[in-house]
Amino acid sequence: MPPVLIFDLGKVLVDFDYTVAAQKIAARSDRAPADLHAFLGSSPLLVDYESGRLTRQGFYDAVCGAIGFHGDLAEFGGYFAKIFTEMPGTIALHAELRRRGFKTYIFSNTNDLAIEHVRRDFPFFAHFDGYIFSYEVGAMKPLPAIYAAMEQMCGHTGADLIYLDDRAENIAAGAARGWRAILHETPEKTRAALAGMGIGGQEGFNSP
């Protein structure tokens, strides 16, 4: 049985940077913290949002209460979500795998604002067999529940799953379930790791 490939989204298929969002949000706020970039990227509010404990409206209301943002939800969402750029090397790698018939899935700690933006603006995002998002599952990597949700969705477990992620703790949680896990650093290193698993290398990929 050919393996299934599971891709993290942020820092694997799309890069992200809160800097521009922080500048625009700060300009419309009364009491933005000195490092709004850090606040947006690591606030407990974001964890609650991406874990499904806060709705989009609830997250917006909580952030407004914290920083005194003056704009409406649509304005805030436009700033907050438009932080992504494509990572062409990994997107090309995924496209090669799809052409050779491998099934692929996205597996991401994320929120509905981000996914709405990525789905609308990046065509590659449509070309996966399924998607597991933390805000829908109610659990974030590396918690076991989100890994179990992926196994249930794709119908595979253990070594049938090859998993790419940029965070060591997430990779470790997958490896603990028997997944073949690759810590993604560059497309070249990931290609080499896949070659070591018999999936293919710089000269191309084997058909499943």
pLDDT score at 31: 86
Model confidence over 49-79: pLDDT tens digits? 999 999 999 999 999 999 999 999 999 999 9
Give bridge partners of residue 130 from the DSSP assignment: 105
Closest by CA position to 43, among listed 108, 107, 111, 106: 111
Residues 97 and 194 both lie in one domain = yes
10 and 39 within one domain: no
What does pLDDT average to over the chain?
A: 94
Q: Last residue of some domain: 81, 98, 123?
A: 81
Residue 94 pLDDT:
98
Is 107:76 a contact under the CB 8 Å cutoff? no
CATH code (residue 107): 3.40.50.1000
Is the previous residue joined to 142 through a cis bond, with omega within 30 degrees of 0?
yes
Of 66, 81, 96, the residue that ends a domain is 81
Residue 5, classed as helix, strand or coil, is strand
Of 81, 99, 117, the residue that ends a domain is 81
User: In which domain, by residue range, is 128 found?
Assistant: 4-15+85-205
Q: Are 154 and 179 in contact (CB under 8 A)?
A: no
Residues 133 and 150 in one domain: yes
Same domain for 91 and 191: yes
Tens digit of each residue's pLDDT (9 = 90 or more) over 159-169? 999 999 999 99
Give the pLDDT confidence of 84-129 residue by residue, as tens digits.
Answer: 999 999 999 999 999 999 999 999 999 999 999 999 999 999 999 9
Same domain, 35 and 133: no
| Domains identified in the chain, total number | 2
Same domain, 110 and 46: no
